[in-house]
Amino acid sequence: MNKNKKLRRSATNRVISGVLGGISNYFGWNSTLVRILYVILAFTPAIDVVAIIAYIIMMFTIPLDNPGVGSPFDQLKSTFTGGTSTDKSRKVIHDVEEKDVHDDQKRGQ
């Protein structure tokens, strides 16, 4: 293992927040196997709560490998809204002429 390698959440290999993708990148493991192992741990009766709390703690403490993506709250919000809040800016239309739709009915057209 490379001594200069740092544990980071993955911005590309992610399902929820990239924690398990980052762990698999750090150790050089298959990310699908890491996710399956985590699901098994999360459903094991003795350690299920610990595994879920550990994931949440890692989500907020492990830095993202691409810092321009945003916080876990922004990522979660964009997951449910279909985009980021900056994508939904108000559009301004210039040089538009208003027309009364009832004018055509008055003229008999």
The pTM assigned to this predicted structure is 0.56
Distance (Å, rounded) from C-alpha 50 to C-alpha 67?
28
Q: Which of 4-13, 15-24, 33-42, 56-65 bottoms out in mean pLDDT, i.e. has the lowest?
A: 4-13
For residues 80-97, give the mean pLDDT. Answer: 65
Query: At residue 90, does pLDDT exceed 80?
Result: no
> Which pLDDT score, from 0 to 100, does residue 84 have?
46
Residue ranges covered by each domain of the chain: 1-87
Phi, psi of 64 (to 5 degrees): -80, 145
Q: Is the pLDDT confidence value at 25 over 70?
A: yes
The DSSP letter of residue 78 is H
pLDDT at 55: 87
- The residue ranking higher by pLDDT, 96 or 35, is 35
Q: What number is the average pLDDT over the span 49-56?
A: 88
